[in-house]
Amino acid sequence: MASRRSRKRRHDVITYGLLGLGCFMALAPIVWGLLTSFKLEGNVALYPPQWLPSPVTFEHYSDLLTTREVLRVFFNSLVLAAGTIVLGLVVASPGAYAAARFRFRGKNAILLTILVTSMIPGISILIPIFLLAIRADLLNSYVFMILVYGAWLVPQAIWFIKGFIEVVPRELEEAALLDGCSLFSAFWRVTLPLIQPGLAAVAILFFVFVWNDFLIGAVLTNREEMRTVQVGLLRTIQDIGISWGQFMAYAMLATAPILVAFLILQKRFVEGLTRGGVKG
């Protein structure tokens, strides 16, 4: 019994030690970037390094937040993320419902095709999309970029939401139909409220993808006022070098919306990830 307890204790120590090491490796660059963003520019490259900012300065943040171009790229990314979330959920939810509830010829082949499309590397089709945007005069267009993001993400969302719908008992929808609801009304009033954790998880995944995207934002925009957050981060690198304090302040500001979104929807997001793969 004692040996079993000692083995369990050693196992716990090793497990938590590895988890702690992983957390440290993941958080150390973020903490260092945050501290750097509060340092004077002349103190960033000191040797030996200055671990804590002294004195603390908010100059980098004030410079960024009072710059119209920076505020504009944040606004652009928010518009694109919000539009993609709305479009993605509106398209993926009925598609996932049809995949989960209906039986029709070729269903498995269609689902497999949808899955395969999500495995195609995005960069392989970016040139045709760019040429299409040029010929259709759709560069620097919110609508076109939202359509591209949506097409990129909807196949994965269909499979993700499908798992949640399959968990919902059919009897609930059948009871709604017997009470006089149409099929769409049963889907809207019964199924959607029950899969809110899954929809929240999909919404966060959409937001993170669009917010962190650089490739599409760089290719489908050529006007400065249409640039996105990640493209704007590249603009902080100038010919004379990098202002590391300002660069880190920009990176922290770019990270903040993702953290806020996750904290607001954390409960539903975790619930969505834990419930989506369980059927029964």
Give the three-class secondary structure for 238: strand
| Cβ-based neighbour number of residue 151 at 10 Å | 15
How many distinct helices (H) and strands (E) make up the chain? 14, 2
Task: Render each residue's pLDDT in the chain as its tens digit; 280 residues.
Answer: 557 777 778 888 888 899 999 999 988 988 999 999 999 888 888 888 888 888 889 998 998 888 888 889 999 999 999 999 999 999 999 999 998 988 888 888 888 888 888 788 878 888 899 999 999 999 999 999 999 999 889 998 999 899 889 888 888 888 888 888 888 898 998 899 889 888 988 998 899 999 999 989 999 998 888 999 999 888 777 655 678 888 899 999 999 888 888 787 777 666 655 554 444 4
pLDDT at 269: 63
pLDDT at 279: 45
Q: Which residue has the tokens 């070098």?
A: 241
pLDDT at 270: 65
Taking the model in full, what pTM does it have?
A: 0.84
| Radius of gyration of the chain, Cα coordinates, nearest whole angstrom | 24
Residue 228 CA to residue 205 CA, distance in Å, equals 18
Q: Which residues of 41-69 are buried (b: 16+ CB within 10 A; e: fewer)?
A: eebbeeeeeeeebeeebeebbeebeeeee
Residue 73 CA to residue 80 CA, distance in Å, equals 11
pLDDT at 271: 64
CA angle 107, 113, 117 (to 5 degrees): 150
Residue-range domains of the chain with CATH: 58-275 (1.10.3720.10)
